[in-house]
Every structure is written in structure tokens, then in C-alpha cells.
């Protein structure tokens, strides 16, 4: 079924097409590794002050419920994580998702496998499902997208060649589920007290309360909305009259629809670091941690979201979408200007992604870029909720 997500404000529409012909699954590189390396400046995640890329968690990455066993990456043969072949070997699956040796469950209270280390850029198909090598292992790639040699247990022989995936503040997904539950409760309370609901130019929620507009720009609250939409197709507890929701009633209908998946890309952007590109691998690992499942069973027996019907075109989404910003006046001051987001943020350069997880990830990362721009230049015309 085809559909279009309309991100409407008073000035323009963002249109995200859903229902394009599916892309044939093949050897799709999971992320633009060279762009990722350009952002990071080194072949493994993080920087001198933040090794591993696990930064900017705002103090919330403290829990033990890491979640998401059903979304982990690993070899297709089903060897468990405490196999003692060679006395020390572990596949990528074993190194990413740890199982409790007594119960067979992860260390977290949810009973899911615990995501705890070495999240690498790997070969994936058009839906983000890992492509196993001839020995049945997930295949990490180097900065040029080339498969790197693995040992007999599926580990990189030279780990310095592997590209680690940055999650940044999205690492808060490792925290106990109560952290996001509390933030979602706060969002629901705000929505139910609003007189109108709409979206900002990046697709985040804007509430009108007592005649004032406020954007939900808290990363934790956006992440809570993302998890809710991707798992239930709704923001549970919302009772606002659908007539006041500006066409966003699908977020409160209790059904998981293409519109929910499309909108979720923008809420993920609102949860991510403003300056860190969102990669496909980051999306897949995040879904695993949050317990986001789908209709596709991977070769490793794990569940993945089916993104095959999603298409995205940057020009369709942002060309002609106007916003008022503060720009330098050349004399040390600032002047209000109305700019076209497509020109101001993307320099008028279009980007079309093939249908599938790559298209969805492109939509999320473009929304992140818009958020970063607004954070720097947007007029303080309405209050934000942190």
C-alpha cells in the first residue's frame, strides 16, 4: 500500500513517500563508511576524550537492561556465546550480545540479550539484515567497505581495521526501560494538555499550550516517542481530540502503520547527537537495544523491521520549506531572515536513497541535519521542553 507522510506546518509540507517498489536485496554496505570516518577522523569509534563513541548520554546511561537479544548480529549457525572452542573465541554475535550462562537470558531484567560491546559496520542487505560470509559469520568491513579477514571464531583478525558504530547519546537506550517510560509519561501529559499538535520543520512535535508553542526537543523524550511508535504504532495514553492533531492521529490510533514508521525517523533524529551522522548500523543496533522487532527473520534467527516499501527524496521533503532564522548581518550583529531549508541546510543538493532501510536512514539523518541547523540559527519563537 502506498502512502505519503505529510509533515505540515503553516509554511510548507514535508512529503515522505511510502510504498515505492521494493529494492532487490543484495550486498548493500550498511553505512557510508568513508563519511563516517571523515566525521570521526579515525578508524575506530570515539575520540581522545570519548573512546568508543559512547558520549553525551546526559547521565542516563547507567542501567543494566541493555535489551534487544532478538535484534543482535551474529553467525548463522547458532553457536552459543559461551562456546569454549579455542578457549577464548567469540563470534561478533557473542561479542555484541552476551547471554547469562545460567539462565540463557541477558543480564538485564527484561530477559533479552545484553548489548555490551564491539558494534561494527557490517555488510547488510536492503533492509539492514546482516549478510553472512561463507563461514556463516556476520561480515565486518573496513573504512573502504571491504570485508576484513576473520578468525575461525568470527572475530576480526586485526580489529583496528573494523569500523565501530557511534551511538553517542543514543547509548541511553541501554538504560533501564523505566527511564524512557517516565519520559513518555511526561510527553503524554503535555500532549493531553495541549490545544493543538503540529510538527516543526524537522518533524518534531510542537504543542500549543495556553496559546504558546513549544517543541519537544528533549533527546530522551524523542527517543521515548520513537520506541513507542516503532513497537506499538502509537503514543499510549494520548487522549487529545484527533481534530486538534493536524493529521497526526495515526500516532494515537494503536495501529502500527507506514505513517508511524515514517514519522519515527524524525523522532530518532530528535534523539540523536546533532552533529553525529545517523548510520544504518546505528539504527539496527538501536532497534535491538530498544526491542524494536519486525516481520523479517534474518539468517541469524533474529527479527528485523521491513523497510522495503519506504522511499525518500530530499528535494520532495525540504525544497520550498521556509523557516525564519537569525543570520549574521556582516557587522557583528544578527538579522532575521526567511530561508529555504533545502538551500540553507543542504546547499540545494538533492539526495535520493533507494527504497529500504537506506532510504529510512537517509530521512532520519537529513532530519538530524535540519535540527542541527535550527539549533544554531532558529529564532527563539517558541519554548522548548528539555
Alpha carbons 52 and 49: distance in angstroms, whole number: 10
**Segment 227-256 mean pLDDT:** 95
Closest CA to 10 of 195, 266, 206: 206
Say which range, 62-71, 152-161, 361-370, has the weakest mean pLDDT: 62-71
Whether 4 has a pLDDT exceeding 80, the answer reads: no
Helix (H) or strand (E) holding 367: helix 357-377
Q: pTM for the whole thing?
A: 0.74
Whether 32 has a pLDDT exceeding 70, the answer reads: no
With cell 580489529, the residue in question is 159
Q: What is the pLDDT of residues 292-323, one digit of tens each?
A: 999 999 988 889 999 998 999 999 999 999 99
Q: Which domain holds residue 19?
A: 1-386
Average pLDDT, the chain: 76
Alpha carbons 267 and 68: distance in angstroms, whole number: 20
Q: What is the pLDDT of residues 218-241, one digit of tens each?
A: 999 999 999 999 999 999 999 999
Q: What is the pLDDT of residues 333-386, one digit of tens each?
A: 889 999 999 999 999 999 987 789 999 999 999 999 999 999 998 766 544 455
Q: Pick the residue with more confidence: 35 or 206?
A: 206
**Segment 166-195 mean pLDDT:** 94
- Band (pLDDT 50/70/90 cuts) for residue 73 is low
Give the burial string for 144-171 (b: 16+ CB within 10 Å, else e): ebeebebeebbbbeeeebbbbbbbbbbb
Whether 97 has a pLDDT exceeding 80, the answer reads: no
In the chain, the number of structural domains is 1
Q: Pick the residue with more confidence: 317 or 15?
A: 317
Alpha carbons 323 and 115: distance in angstroms, whole number: 40
**Segment 203-214 mean pLDDT:** 95
Whether 326 has a pLDDT exceeding 70, the answer reads: yes
Amino acid at each position: 500500500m502506498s502512502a505519503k507522510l505529510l509533515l505540515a506546518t503553516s509554511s510548507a509540507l514535508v512529503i515522505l513517500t511510502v510504498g515505492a517498489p521494493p529494492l532487490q536485496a543484495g550486498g548493500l554496505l550498511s553505512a557510508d563508511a568513508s563519511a563516517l570516518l571523515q566525521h570521526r577522523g579515525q578508524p575506530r569509534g570515539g575520540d581522545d576524550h570519548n573512546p568508543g563513541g559512547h558520549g553525551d548520554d546526559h547521565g542516563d546511561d547507567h542501567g543494566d537492561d541493555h535489551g534487544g537479544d532478538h535484534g543482535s548480529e551474529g553467525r548463522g549457525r547458532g553457536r552459543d556465546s559461551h562456546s569454549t572452542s579455542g578457549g577464548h573465541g567469540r563470534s561478533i554475535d557473542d561479542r555484541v550480545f552476551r547471554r547469562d550462562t545460567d539462565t540463557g537470558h541477558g543480564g538485564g531484567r527484561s530477559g533479552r540479550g545484553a548489548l555490551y560491546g564491539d558494534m561494527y559496520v557490517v555488510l547488510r542487505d536492503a533492509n539492514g539484515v546482516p549478510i553472512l560470509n561463507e563461514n556463516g559469520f556476520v561480515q565486518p568491513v573496513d573504512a573502504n567497505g571491504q570485508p576484513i579477514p576473520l578468525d575461525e571464531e568470527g572475530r576480526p583478525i586485526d580489529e583496528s581495521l573494523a569500523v565501530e558504530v557511534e551511538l553517542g547519546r543514543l547509548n541511553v537506550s541501554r538504560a533501564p526501560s523505566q527511564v524512557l517510560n517516565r519520559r513518555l509519561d511526561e510527553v503524554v501529559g503535555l500532549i493531553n494538555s495541549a490545544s493543538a499538535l503540529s510538527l516543526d520543520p524537522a518533524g518534531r512535535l510542537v504543542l500549543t499550550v495556553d496559546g504558546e508553542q513549544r517543541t519537544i526537543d528533549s533527546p530522551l523524550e524523542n527517543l521515548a516517542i520513537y520506541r513507542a511508535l516503532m513497537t506499538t504504532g502509537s503514543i499510549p495514553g494520548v487522549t487529545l481530540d484527533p481534530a486538534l492533531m493536524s493529521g497526526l492521529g495515526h500516532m494515537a490510533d494503536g495501529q502500527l502503520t507506514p505513517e508511524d514508521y515514517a514519522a519515527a525517523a524524525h523522532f530518532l533524529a530528535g534523539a540523536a547527537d546533532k552533529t553525529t551522522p545517523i548510520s544504518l548500523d546505528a539504527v539496527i543496533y538501536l532497534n535491538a537495544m530498544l526491542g524494536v522487532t519486525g516481520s523479517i527473520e534474518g539468517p541469524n534467527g533474529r527479527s528485523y523491521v521491513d523497510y522495503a516499501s519506504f522511499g525518500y527524496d530530499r528535494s520532495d521533503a525540504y525544497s520550498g520549506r521556509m523557516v525564519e532564522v537569525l543570520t549574521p548581518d556582516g557587522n557583528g550583529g544578527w538579522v532575521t531572515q526567511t530561508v529555504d531549508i533545502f538551500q540553507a541546510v543542504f546547499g540545494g543538493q538533492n539526495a535520493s536513497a533507494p527504497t529500504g532501510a537506506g532510504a529510512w536512514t537517509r530521512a532520519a539523518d537529513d532530519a538530524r541535519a535540519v535540527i542541527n541547523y535550527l539549533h544554531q540559527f532558529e529564532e527563539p519563537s517558541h519554548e522548548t521542553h528539555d
